[in-house]
Homo-oligomer: A and B are copies of this chain.
Amino acid sequence: MSLRSLGMEMHCRCIQTESKPIGRHIGKVELIPANSHCEETEIIATLKKTGQEVCLDPEAPWVKKVIKAIMNKSR
């Protein structure tokens, strides 16, 4: 089984990040901590309607707010 098939990538997945606050369109978010294959934390949002994957900037205040909102809305 390759690492890729395990959902792990051997390199960074994001080339550029979305600057517009698209929080309301997000269906799910993947957080990939920095690791030996990519030294940046990567955040990849999947959009609700299109399923398009969009990279987000972990440093952007609106991105931090979106993550916090998802965590706080549980239950």
Contacts and interface: CB of A to CB of B under 8 A. Distances in A.
A48 to B, nearest CB: 8
Contacts of A67: 31, 67, 71
A58 B35 contact: no
A48 B8 CA distance: 8
| Range of interface residues on A (Cβ < 8 Å) | 20 to 34
A31 B33 contact: no
Contacts of A1: 51
A35 B41 contact: no
Interface of A: 1, 3, 5-8, 26-35, 40-41, 46, 48, 50-51, 58-59, 64, 67, 70-71, 73-75
14 contacts: A1-B51, A6-B50, A6-B51, A8-B48, A8-B51, A27-B32, A27-B33, A28-B30, A28-B32, A29-B30, A41-B70, A41-B71, A58-B74, A67-B67
